[in-house]
Chains A and B, each alone.
Chain A
Amino acid sequence: MSFGKRIRVVVAKPGLDSHDRGAKIVARAFRDAGMEVIYTGLRQTPEQIVETALQEDVDVIALSILSGAHLTLFPKIMELLKRKGLDDVLVFAGGIIPKEDVPNLKKIGIAEVFGSGTRTDTLVKFIRENMRKRK
């Protein structure tokens, strides 16, 4: 096992969701794929998520949301990221997000939106491929 540079991901739970089963499974999958995963815990504000991403110098932010507040919270997160100069971070989302909202989320810079039932290896592959594109 060699330990060079590692992909660092923050798995974040914005808003008032009351459970994080999905987020934890995803975090575990990233860990098992050799990434360093920083988990924020429940009920995070956009400010807390962006500040965590900044201090932890992450490459990726994975947002998990079930509450339906994505159209309010995601634009705030994306704006804060831009303002703090973190627009090179890959951001994607998962949880319960209606299909018709996806184009709008992509417009503001969310790279992809995954629904329930997505295989975790799909997510790992997505991170690896999109990280490479950025370099």
Chain B
Amino acid sequence: MTNIEQLIDGVLKGDRRFIAKTITLIENDLPESQRLVSLLYPNTGKAHIMGITGPPGSGKSTLIQKLVEELRRRRKTVGVVAVDPSSPFTGGAFLGDRVRMQELSTDEGVFIRSMATRGSVGALAKATKDAVKVLDASGKDVVVVETVGAGQSEVEIVKVAHTIVVVLAPGLGDDIQAIKAGIMEIGDIFVVNKADRENVNKAMIDIEAMLNMNPEREKWKPPVVKTTAITGEGITELLDKIDQHRKYLEAGAIDTRRRRRVETELVEAIKEKVAEAIVDDLKKKGELDKLVQKILEKETDPYSAAGLLLAKRLKRFKTG
């Protein structure tokens, strides 16, 4: 097996085989994966990261195929991470996003990776944000992240992408759906795809009305774009809007977003490390089973037990 330095070197040179191997290592959460990400970290932050989300069947994969083609015409190199769900029963997954992106697979300026959620919720896999970092460090100008078909509350993508495109289709729901919180709040750009179908204008109006009622949090007002991904109609306009959003971010808003993202990432890393340390310690001393038993017998409850554990450790931390 190749060592970490070779992998890093390969990724930075944009070598496709090394990029693929590195993502696998991160996905499998091997001990060396954290060090890998740390070493790549200084080389990240250059790519524009687009998140494409929306309900299943709204046409995300087909739209990405056309978007990437247009990006290539504009001489941009592109990485794609396409996430599909893992089975909660067998852990297996059927990753079918490439079927809609066939024409891109032999283009040397494009790298596509399919990824299964492996038990994560929020429409992304745990390894997605680090896979994005690998593609970013490998020199791709743009990285596109396709989420699992997302219904209402799967909004993890806000922690990963700079520009979020919410893809909808006519007939998926009325203005009541458009008022709901969650996914309808995270879009920087809204797309009504399958515009060759009936009720397109109704869908456009519902979304626009919803957007008009949004409190003004930012100067950016999310536009609504009509597309027919299968024929390529509306794609140029969509990419122009994405580009406008990128420019808007670069004019200042990106600092706030970046700050917010780094903060969430740090908080999550702390949670993970701290929890891991405490749980490992409990397991080593055989105390975890005892605690579980106590909770089963209703002597205590999970929150009190966790609170007590933390209090004990914090005391030791302060005095030590």
Mark A residues whose CB is within 8 Å of B.
1-6, 8, 27-28, 30-41, 43-45, 47-48, 51-52, 54-57, 84-85
| Chain A nearest Cβ from B100, distance in angstroms | 8
By a CB distance below 8 angstroms, the chain A residues around B303 are none
By a CB distance below 8 angstroms, the chain B residues around A57 are 20-21, 23-24
Interface residues on B, range: 20 to 34
By a CB distance below 8 angstroms, the chain B residues around A6 are 91-93, 116, 118
By a CB distance below 8 angstroms, the chain A residues around B88 are 1
User: Which of chain B's residues has its CB closest to A37's CB?
Assistant: B94
B212 proximal to A (CB < 8 A): no
A38 touching B90 by the CB < 8 A rule?
Answer: no
B113 touching A36 by the CB < 8 A rule?
Answer: no
B277 proximal to A (CB < 8 A): no
C-alpha gap A101/B299 in the complex (Å): 70
User: Which of chain B's residues has its CB closest to A30's CB?
Assistant: B92
Mark B residues whose CB is within 8 Å of A.
16-17, 19-21, 23-24, 28-29, 86-96, 98-100, 102, 105-106, 111-114, 116, 118-119
Given the known inter-chain contacts A48-B102, A56-B113, please indicate yes or no for A33 contacting B20, CB distance below 8 A: no
Chain A to chain B contacts (Cβ below 8 Å), 28 pairs: A1-B90, A1-B119, A2-B91, A3-B91, A4-B29, A6-B92, A8-B24, A30-B92, A31-B87, A35-B92, A36-B86, A37-B92, A37-B94, A38-B95, A39-B95, A39-B98, A40-B105, A41-B99, A41-B102, A48-B105, A51-B106, A52-B98, A54-B20, A55-B16, A55-B20, A55-B111, A57-B23, A57-B24
By a CB distance below 8 angstroms, the chain B residues around A30 are 92
C-alpha gap A17/B116 in the complex (Å): 28
